[in-house]
Amino acid sequence: MKIFGAKGLIKTGHLVITILLMVYTGECLGQEKPQSVTVNLELMQESDRSLDQVKEELLRDARVEAVQRVTGLNIKSFDAQAETESIEENDAAYFQTFRRLMRINVEGRIVGEDTPEYYVEGNMVGITYTCKVQKLDKDYDQYFKVDISSNKKAYTVGEPIEFEVTTTKDAYITLFSIKEDNSVAMFFPNTYLQENYVKSDELRLIPNEKERRIIDFMAQTEGNQEVYSELIFAVATKEKYEFEKLAEELSYKNNWITLNKWLMDLERDQWTEDFAQIVIYDN
């Protein structure tokens, strides 16, 4: 996706955006202390898969397993739901894994990780993965919800993208783009679109008609890929914050963990989340 603004473009992966990239990481308030978890997994390398592809799958699965161990949730129940929501039959394995991780994230999040250790014995590839998982405070606001969707589920390159957001309570909306490598870019609010307040039960278009005079979100694939999927993560907060500070911190490595830390620092009843997926086809 590209975002066209009044003063040109800044590219972050498949997003081209007109914002400063950024997160606040203070001590977590009222949350349980992070738990250290070590996961050992093995996977057979098939002839049609590279070693890097197998390592990537092992890392994705290890992250899900780590959160599952701390939260005690049954991953299989989330798998079934993820399958029913898949847009493409050949959807990347990453997005299936991410859906599962997003669902168990309502109970806990990875807030730190060591460099994974891999070993290869014949066709068997293994991983030793250590991370810190923090459980969320269960005292959340069950009446505070956010819903995000796009005006289309599939786009061709160059088409405008518009998001529809509603909340059950007055809130401030933040939108993030999440890539397959877990890198995160915050694209709303931004330098040109700073008003992110949404009234309860009122539909908020992002960008709306007035905002499209300043900035546009355009469909764009990455590299030479004919089909590209992108996850849009929406966070609604009851209080307003300085988005520039968050964008700056998200410009560093492992920024998906930075995003998790920021969420864990917020009081659990002060925020809620939702996500949507869009698919972009090359012309």
| CATH number of the domain bearing residue 213 | 2.60.40.2550
Our count of domains for the chain comes to 2
Percent of the chain residues past pLDDT 90, beyond the cut: 35
Q: What is the pLDDT of residue 139?
A: 76
Name residues whose C-beta falls within 8 Å of residue 281's C-beta, 6 or more positions apart in sequence. 154, 155, 156, 157, 221, 226, 227
Choose one of 84, 113, 135: the last residue of a domain.
135
pLDDT above 80 (res 91): no
Q: Both 177 and 271 in a single domain?
A: yes
Q: How does the average pLDDT of the chain come out, rounded?
A: 79
Over residues 56-68, the mean pLDDT reads 89
| Model confidence pTM above 0.85 | no
Residues listed for the chain: 283
State how far the Cα of 182 lies from the Cα of 250, in Å rounded to an integer: 12
Domain boundary among 135, 154, 174: 135
* Percentage of the chain modeled with pLDDT above 70: 75
In contact, 274 and 148? CB cutoff 8 Å = yes
Phi, psi of 228 (to 5 degrees): -135, 135
Are residues 10 and 65 part of one domain? no
Higher pLDDT, 112 or 221: 112
Residue 29 lies in a domain: no
Same domain flag for 71 and 90: yes
Question: Using CA atoms, how far apart are residues 109 and 101, in angstroms rounded to an integer?
Answer: 9
Contact of 239 with 172, CB cutoff 8 Å: yes
Instruction: Supply the pLDDT for residue 20.
Output: 26
Whether residues 116 and 170 fall in one domain: no
Q: Are 246 and 233 in contact (CB under 8 A)?
A: no
Decide if 30 is inside a domain. Answer: no
Q: Greater confidence, 20 or 147? A: 147
Rounded Cα–Cα distance for residues 1 and 19 (Å): 14
* Domain residue limits at 79: 35-135
**Over 90: is that where the pLDDT of 129 sits?**
yes
Cα–Cα separations (whole angstroms), residue 177 to 40, 129, 140: 30, 25, 25
Same domain (yes/no): 173, 272 = yes
What are the tens digits of pLDDT across the range 131-143? 999 887 777 888 9
**Closest Cα partner for 25 from 109, 140, 137, 104?**
109
The label of the residue with tokens 């993560």 reads 233
> Using CA atoms, how far apart are residues 99 and 105, in angstroms rounded to an integer?
10
75: pLDDT confidence band, cut at 50, 70 and 90? very low
Do 198 and 267 have their domain in common?
A: yes
Q: Evaluate whether 174 touches 199 at the Cβ level (below 8 Å).
A: no
- H or E, element range at 58: helix 51-71
Amino acid 26: pLDDT: 38
pLDDT at 105: 56
